[in-house]
Structure 1
Amino acid sequence: MDTHGFPPGYFVIRSVATNRLLDVKSDYVEDGTEVLLWPEKETSLVESFRDPDANNQVFFIDPSGALCSRASGHAIDVEDGRLVLRHRRPISYPYPNAYSHPLPKFQYNAQTGEITIHFSHDPTYPLSSPPSSPGTSMLRNRTSDLGLEIPAAAGNWRNKTHFLVSQPLRKPRTIIDDASEMITTAIVSPINFFSSAFGGKSAAKPEEVFDGNIDLKEEEVVEEERGEEGEVDNSPELERRVRVIGIPNGSEGELGDKALKRRKWMVSSLRRVNARTGT
């Protein structure tokens, strides 16, 4: 059977950038539970030595090619760029749609350490609607039957490679951080600092030129445009999130070391016997 680059049987998936394991949040089994990164709960890879409570950090590839959680047996789906636990759902029309669709397939490349996600449909479902809107569904089906033009953007997903990446998390800024920055500014450029303090004009900073009050959330930052500051990962929080990003084929530039690491994963098989003692 094709395990799509993953080892047969059970395995754990470790982020090289964060040294955390892929983890079903709080060991929940509800549909839509987020799959994220969490510190390793069990260090042994020998089945008989492992704590069963750590099974939410263990995965396997099922016969259909879907990535699944050992703890619940449910598959992993992609929803709004996040990994979530997905219960099998009945077919609803128009198929596929956000509620009912084929599960994505995960592919692991042991040489590069990258995990890619492969869809059989547009993961944004531009021409589908939820089952609760039958009128809209019938209209869209009718549009297809009439051979009306489908927006070109609806096919762009085929020309992208979808990568699984970890997300850095920076600790929130504090009053002390702001005060430290002010003191540093005063030392580096005292003339500008004091002239602005006494009503004089100073050169505007780049972030002050546009006063549009734009505040991007962490998950809204374009992964390939984080910059050096955006790669800082110093939050005391244990949890880290993962995202699925689509990169147009042939458009990717050179990545920095930290951006490359966030794409790298180590997959380790669980063993039935101890490699040293054979027991």
Structure 2
Amino acid sequence: MELSLETYGFPSGYFVIKNIATNRLLDVQSNGVEDGTGLILWPENESSLVEDMRRPEANNQVFFIDIYGALCSRSSGHAIDIENDRLVLRHRRPITHPCPNAFSHPLPRFSYDPETQHINITFEVDPTYPNSGNRATAIGNWKDKGYFVTALPLRKSRTMMDNASEMFSNAITSPLSLFGSGGHSGPPKGARPNDIFETGEFDLMENEILETDRSEEGEVDDSPERYRPVRMVGLTKEDECIIGDKARKRAQWVVVPIKPVRNRRIVSGGSTKSK
């Protein structure tokens, strides 16, 4: 493999990656180092952006582009890969056949576009690895899609009181609903993914809702949890035209370099002062 001195829009050296919509940083979950450890969004652990003033424990929120052009975590040194649309740590792996496959494949290329503030992902091969027997998740030709990193909203968990209140509210408007209407074996015709998720008629997880199908209610982000999920999304050009403003903001990032030393400026009398 040839060495690359290209940083693909990211700064050279170390940097942190902040999501604009959530004001949280990209973070290696629980500061893990094992293969497949997931990345999440988490509040900032260290406010200083000066190398010698930062706590080493915050390095799981620090990243860099290595000499091969891979996006890597500073805390473990491992590259970032995509696994079932999740961002995960990936050790270097031996070649196994048929190659490429879900275990052994070229790493995706992450690049940052400061104009759109997108973190784009480029694959050399189909990221579903259909030849290895995995279920294909992409619809249509994978090359027709643009792949990028986005945050996901997180709803607070429903309580028993929430469910009871909703049940009795429905019973008031439709008394037969308490006893079952009979013959309903699936969601109402024309139900949106968010409707199905809210009613519980299908076990549809929040991260399984397509960005193009996410309603205003599906954009609610009211969980008291400190973390937020982060995922890869693949959209065609037509899809990108119809997603909402909130979805666009969730896919925007600010990349902030970490300074190797404190800046010094000249003050009166010829002395220097750090800042």
Fold-level similarity (TM above 0.5): yes
Q: Please state if 1:169 is matched with 2:148.
A: no
Q: Please state if 1:156 is matched with 2:141.
A: yes
2:121 maps to a residue whose letter is I
SS in 2 for 1:236: coil
SS in 1 for 2:260: coil
**2:29 alignment partner in structure 1:** 25
**1:41 alignment partner in structure 2:** 45
SS in 2 for 1:94: coil
**1:255 alignment partner in structure 2:** 243
Q: Which runs of 5 or more structure 1 residues have no equivalent in the other structure?
A: 131-150, 187-191
**1:231 alignment partner in structure 2:** 219
Greater radius of gyration (CA): 1
Deviation, structure 1 residue 225: 1.6
Deviation, structure 1 residue 94: 1.4
Identical-pair percentage: 56
**2:84 alignment partner in structure 1:** 80
Q: 2:150, 2:250 within 8 Å by CA — same for their partners in 1?
A: yes
2:232 maps to a residue whose letter is V
Moved over 4 A (4+): 178-183
Distance 2:47 2:233 in 1: 30
2:94 maps to a residue whose letter is P
SS in 2 for 1:2: coil
Deviation, structure 1 residue 219: 1.7
Counterpart of 1:67 (choices 53, 59, 71) is: 71
Q: 2:212, 2:242 within 8 Å by CA — same for their partners in 1?
A: no
1:253 maps to a residue whose letter is C
**1:100 alignment partner in structure 2:** 104
SS in 2 for 1:253: helix
Distance 1:83 1:10 in 2: 19
1:95 maps to a residue whose letter is C
Q: Calculate the TM-score normalised by the size of structure 2.
A: 0.81
Q: Which runs of 5 or more structure 2 residues have no equivalent in the other structure?
A: 190-195, 265-272
Q: 1:10, 1:269 within 8 Å by CA — same for their partners in 2?
A: yes
Q: 1:34, 1:82 within 8 Å by CA — same for their partners in 2?
A: yes
Q: Calculate the TM-score normalised by the size of structure 1.
A: 0.79
Q: 1:24, 1:33 within 8 Å by CA — same for their partners in 2?
A: yes
Q: 2:27, 2:41 within 8 Å by CA — same for their partners in 1?
A: yes
1:193 maps to a residue whose letter is I
* Matched ranges for 1:70-219 at <5 A: 70-128=74-132, 156-178=141-163, 193=172, 196=175, 209=188, 213-219=201-207
**1:143 alignment partner in structure 2:** none
**1:135 alignment partner in structure 2:** none
Q: 2:15, 2:64 within 8 Å by CA — same for their partners in 1?
A: yes
**2:269 alignment partner in structure 1:** none
Q: 1:122, 1:154 within 8 Å by CA — same for their partners in 2?
A: no
Q: 1:197 to 1:125 in 2, by over 3 A?
A: closer
Post-superposition Cα deviations, 1:142-170, rounded to whole Å, max 9, x if no partner, equal xxxxxxxxx9x898111110011101100
**Which stretch shows the higher mean deviation, 105-114 or 252-261?**
252-261
Q: 1:182 to 1:275 in 2, by over 3 A?
A: farther
How many residue pairs are counted as aligned between the two chains? 248
Deviation, structure 1 residue 13: 0.4
Distance 2:217 2:139 in 1: 34
Distance 2:219 2:177 in 1: 36
Q: 1:179 to 1:72 in 2, by over 3 A?
A: same
Deviation, structure 1 residue 208: 6.4
